[in-house]
Structure 1
Amino acid sequence: MKEFNAKKIIVKYLVNEATPQETEKLLRWVGSKKNEKIFKEFVQAHQLSNIAYNSSEVQTAFDDFLRQIRTSKSKSNFRIKRFVRYFKYAAVIVGVLLSTLYLLKKENHVSPFVEMTDQVTLQLINGDKQYFNIDTDKTIKTKTGHEVAIVENGVLTYVAEPTNRKNKPLQNILKVPYGKTFNVVLSDGSSILLNSGSLLKYPNVFIKNEPREVFLEGEAFFQVTTAPNSSFIVNSKNSITKVYGTEFNVSCYSEDDKTEIVLVEGSVGVKTNSSIKGQENYQMMIPSQKASLSSNSEDVEITTVNIQKYISWKEGILTFENEKFETIQKTLERHYNVKIINNFHDINSFRYNGTFKNDSIEKILNTIKTHTNFSFQRKDEIITINNPKNPQ
């Protein structure tokens, strides 16, 4: 079986669409060590595509799948329905998943369930997918008509309702495109303002007396309500932040090599994602401190900072303090929803200071030009920077 066809059948199998013949071929194919590795890489690529499952869920599903294969004495078309909950998005991305591996090799960031759109996107874990404009009031319901949340005056607010382990909450994924910010109020009253190009995974309700957990990729400002016997935990690619009722900012874009947590008020504890699960080895922070974590380090660096630099984006203000141009470029691309092609690489290492409120990207680039001479042209949503001595 060719590798391409194998991947196609894996997707069909996970969503219970494979024929008995295809399933039988897949079981034989994945039995070898080489193909088992390919299968695992495929599942990992699936997880990396901004599906926002944590690694333990994907690993558990994969291990259980392989255990079923190794112990199965029959070649019949059995199903792994008990594991399908780990792959609810498969049905949504069947049409594009075959190109995901190729895209992952070319891009750092892939969002399979979010088409090219300038709308905020909400997806429920049960397969519902809804688009809505931040300026449009709307009631968010499941396919069965159950009301989950409302959008009113540009804020997504979830309906507070009791739940327990027997009545599991629905998981939600909220995606904010470049060029926009969006505010969501969770069922416990906690408010989260998402910066442009951010993704948040969270339940529609929290289980009483259990940790309230969310997953973030991008940047967000949190205002967390205090709940007795229920801590609030923010998971990201590098960090786990445990909250004790507070205001703080987390920046963890997938294309950045670091995660930064800045505490405004209250108290949080921070540890790396690689820390042993369950251990309370959090490093505590006090207001006006920043915790920095790198994907290639086990250390958590805590320093005292000017917090306004890190939270001014909430007011539409861009603040740069001794920032390299290549860092500024990423911020401008997210904030203005543009693509910047820099052909003048000498300026990447130069550092700049500046504060801009509601200014156009052209004004910001022209301001930087007064310190470092370069030329730029804009065509639609693409800006090209060139060396003025070598115009193109």
Structure 2
Amino acid sequence: MSFKGRKDILIERHMEGSLNAKEEEELWRWLNSNRKNQDVFESRISLTLEGKPLPEGVLSEREALSDVKKRIVAHENRHVRLWWRRSAIASAVVLLVLLGFFSQEWGDRGDGVLNVAGSENVILTLSDGNEVALTENVSRLEDVKGKGFVGVWNGKSLSYQANGFQSLSETFNTVRVPSGKRFSITLSDGSQIEMNSETELRYPVVFKGNERNIELLSGEIYCKIAKNKHKPFYVNSSRLRLRVLGTSFNFSAYQNERKSSAVLVEGSVGIIPRNDVFDIKKAILLDPGEALVYDKMIKKVVKSKVRVADYTAWKDGKLIFKTMPLNELLLRLGRWYGVRIEDRTGRGDSYTYSGTFDEESIEEALDALSKLCDFNFRLTDNGVVVE
């Protein structure tokens, strides 16, 4: 493959925010090799808004490139990729700026250093309501009602075993993951569940009957469901019900967010409203690479082809956001880092933002966003205030 072709691919992936560290280094080496390459890069990320002047606080493409290059020289190992989009109400004009922000020295943002949360433990609630903090001191889990062995906690994940639990009825446990942390569970049937920050999941210790049901009370999970054609698997939230057999998918249903989404990685999923009796003829079926998004405010369902990695990157330590309003973005940022962020900007849905964070600290992420989104932030004893 010629480098011209390779260059086009790298720039395109850079605009999508999907470059890995090696590819990003390759792009910047090409960019810094001569002025012509920089002109090509600038033209690809040029800013257009029907000839109108740039909004205050938004860099031109040449200024953006200059800013990126300065940061590259000093800090090549850290990166934040962000781009900014504004929706024009009448003409549906799309304004797109691609910016790369690198970590930098911090000026005075307030008093002291931000204390990031995340020291809170994952909490397991047993069938009788007794809560167990999953710490290094906990390994073997016993049911407090004396019904037998539940499972093993190895410091990173919780594994249930069906053969040690003697209850004849279906007995439920609940796991609650705090902000700033992620967690994984292997259920008694072998299904694997990865849980994002601020997720609460209720599930049987051992599955009984001819169905397997779990309930996502709030949060986001990535599931690899063990195959059992005689025992379909259901994931229930307050809004949606998913039916799967042997399938990998991502499901997000935070109670404090207006949208729920299900994204299929492999297998098949049928989705219905939560309170309906499942009928495959009435279900919305997803193929791999498709997503269903439900907006509870307008009670609208949208099914579309998506880039699956944008929805599943969280389990690999990346926070990706696409065309997201600032208030929702700050909510997710606080959840991701385990920090309380108070949004005083008062912005609606006119401005949306897209980008990727991975290794950045909360201060680095906020500093990059403040430049891109034109806001100020200050640290307080309780977290961060954005205004």
Instruction: Provide the rounded CA distance (Å) in 2 between the counterparts of 1:183 and 1:150.
Output: 12
| AA partner of residue 360 (structure 1) | S
In structure 2, relative to structure 1, the CA distance for the partners of 1:293 and 1:347 (3 Å cut) is closer
Q: Is residue 375–residue 385 contact of structure 1 (8 Å, CA) maintained in 2? A: yes
Equivalent in the alignment of 1:236: 237
Q: In angstroms, what is the RMSD of aligned CA positions? A: 2.2
Q: Is residue 224–residue 249 contact of structure 2 (8 Å, CA) maintained in 1? A: yes
Equivalent position SS for 1:230: coil
In structure 2, relative to structure 1, the CA distance for the partners of 1:379 and 1:324 (3 Å cut) is same
Q: Is residue 136–residue 151 contact of structure 1 (8 Å, CA) maintained in 2? A: no
TM-score, length-normalised on structure 1?
0.64
In structure 2, relative to structure 1, the CA distance for the partners of 1:220 and 1:159 (3 Å cut) is same
Equivalent in the alignment of 1:353: 354
Equivalent in the alignment of 2:314: 313
Matched, 1:215 2:215: yes
**1:154 offset after TM fit, Å?**
0.7
| AA partner of residue 191 (structure 2) | S
Structure 1 residues 235-384: aligned runs within 5 Å: 235-275=236-276, 277-280=277-280, 281-296=282-297, 299-346=300-347, 349-384=350-385
Instruction: Provide the rounded CA distance (Å) in 1 between the counterparts of 2:153 and 2:189.
Output: 17
Moved over 3 A (4+): 296-300, 346-349
**1:343 offset after TM fit, Å?**
2.0
Instruction: Provide the rounded CA distance (Å) in 1 between the counterparts of 2:226 and 2:382.
Output: 39
Aligned to 2:163, which of 157, 161, 164? 161
Equivalent in the alignment of 2:81: none
**1:282 offset after TM fit, Å?**
1.5
**1:137 offset after TM fit, Å?**
4.9
Equivalent in the alignment of 2:49: none
Matched, 1:226 2:216: no
Instruction: Provide the rounded CA distance (Å) in 1 between the counterparts of 2:259 and 2:372.
Output: 28
Instruction: Provide the rounded CA distance (Å) in 1 between the counterparts of 2:286 and 2:126.
Output: 34
Instruction: Provide the rounded CA distance (Å) in 1 between the counterparts of 2:224 and 2:273.
Output: 22
Instruction: Provide the rounded CA distance (Å) in 1 between the counterparts of 2:297 and 2:377.
Output: 35
Equivalent in the alignment of 1:131: 133
Where do 5+ consecutive residues of structure 2 fail to align? 1-117
TM-superposition CA deviations, 1:53-78 (whole Å, max 9, x none): xxxxxxxxxxxxxxxxxxxxxxxxxx
Identity score, percent: 29
| AA partner of residue 273 (structure 1) | R
**1:340 offset after TM fit, Å?**
1.2
Instruction: Provide the rounded CA distance (Å) in 2 between the counterparts of 1:186 and 1:121.
Output: 16
Instruction: Provide the rounded CA distance (Å) in 2 between the counterparts of 1:183 and 1:262.
Output: 19
Instruction: Provide the rounded CA distance (Å) in 2 between the counterparts of 1:361 and 1:307.
Output: 25
| AA partner of residue 265 (structure 2) | V
In structure 2, relative to structure 1, the CA distance for the partners of 1:297 and 1:227 (3 Å cut) is farther
Q: Is residue 326–residue 349 contact of structure 1 (8 Å, CA) maintained in 2? A: no
Aligned to 1:150, which of 146, 149, 152? 152
TM-score, length-normalised on structure 2?
0.65
Equivalent in the alignment of 2:25: none
Q: Is residue 149–residue 164 contact of structure 2 (8 Å, CA) maintained in 1? A: no
Which sits farther off after the overlay, 123-132 or 183-192? 123-132
In structure 2, relative to structure 1, the CA distance for the partners of 1:160 and 1:385 (3 Å cut) is same
TM-superposition CA deviations, 1:340-376 (whole Å, max 9, x none): 1122224764222211112111111111122232211
In structure 2, relative to structure 1, the CA distance for the partners of 1:162 and 1:138 (3 Å cut) is closer
Higher relative contact order (CA 8 A, sep 6+): 2
In structure 2, relative to structure 1, the CA distance for the partners of 1:278 and 1:304 (3 Å cut) is closer
In structure 2, relative to structure 1, the CA distance for the partners of 1:162 and 1:346 (3 Å cut) is closer
Equivalent position SS for 2:373: coil
In structure 2, relative to structure 1, the CA distance for the partners of 1:127 and 1:324 (3 Å cut) is closer
Instruction: Provide the rounded CA distance (Å) in 2 between the counterparts of 1:299 and 1:349.
Output: 20
Q: Is residue 312–residue 318 contact of structure 1 (8 Å, CA) maintained in 2? A: yes
Where do 5+ consecutive residues of structure 1 fail to align? 1-115, 387-392
**1:297 offset after TM fit, Å?**
5.7
In structure 2, relative to structure 1, the CA distance for the partners of 1:236 and 1:152 (3 Å cut) is same
Q: How many residues in Structure 1 have an aligned counterpart in Structure 2? A: 267
In structure 2, relative to structure 1, the CA distance for the partners of 1:362 and 1:290 (3 Å cut) is same
Q: Is residue 163–residue 169 contact of structure 1 (8 Å, CA) maintained in 2? A: no
In structure 2, relative to structure 1, the CA distance for the partners of 1:278 and 1:356 (3 Å cut) is closer
In structure 2, relative to structure 1, the CA distance for the partners of 1:226 and 1:287 (3 Å cut) is same
